[in-house]
Structure 1
Amino acid sequence: MSEQFCMVLSTTNSRENAKQIIDSVLGQQLAACIQTMPIESHYVWQNEICADQEILMIMKTTNACYTELEQTIKAHHDYDVPQIIQVPFAEGFNPYLSWIEENTRR
Structure 2
Amino acid sequence: MDTGALIVYMTAADADEAARIGRLLVQRRLAACVNVLGSVRSIYSWQGTVHDEGETAFIAKTWADRLDELILAVRQAHSYDVPCIVALPLAGGSAPFLDWIREQTRPDTTA
TM-score, with length taken from structure 1: 0.92
In structure 1, the gaps of 5 or more residues are: none
Aligned residues: 106
User: 4+ residue runs of structure 1 moved beyond 3 angstroms?
Assistant: none
Q: Cα distance, 1:55 vs. partner?
A: 0.7
Q: Within 1, Cα distance between the matches of 2:3 and 2:99? A: 13
What residue is the counterpart of 1:28 in the other structure?
28
Once the two structures are superposed, what CA deviation does each residue of 1:26-46 show, in whole Å capped at 9, x if it has no partner? 110111111112211110111
Once the two structures are superposed, what CA deviation does each residue of 1:48-89 show, in whole Å capped at 9, x if it has no partner? 111111111110110011000000000100001101101111
What residue is the counterpart of 1:50 in the other structure?
51
What residue is the counterpart of 1:17 in the other structure?
17
In structure 2, the gaps of 5 or more residues are: none
Q: Within 1, Cα distance between the matches of 2:5 and 2:69? A: 15
1:53 partner letter: G
1:12 partner letter: A
Q: Cα distance, 1:101 vs. partner?
A: 1.1
Q: Cα distance, 1:3 vs. partner?
A: 3.0
Percent identity, aligned pairs only? 33
What residue is the counterpart of 1:63 in the other structure?
64
Q: Within 2, Cα distance between the matches of 1:15 and 1:47? A: 27
Q: Cα distance, 1:103 vs. partner?
A: 1.0
> Contact 1:13 / 1:52 at 8 angstroms: preserved in 2?
no
> Contact 2:3 / 2:91 at 8 angstroms: preserved in 1?
yes
What residue is the counterpart of 2:4 in the other structure?
4
Q: CA RMSD in A?
A: 1.5
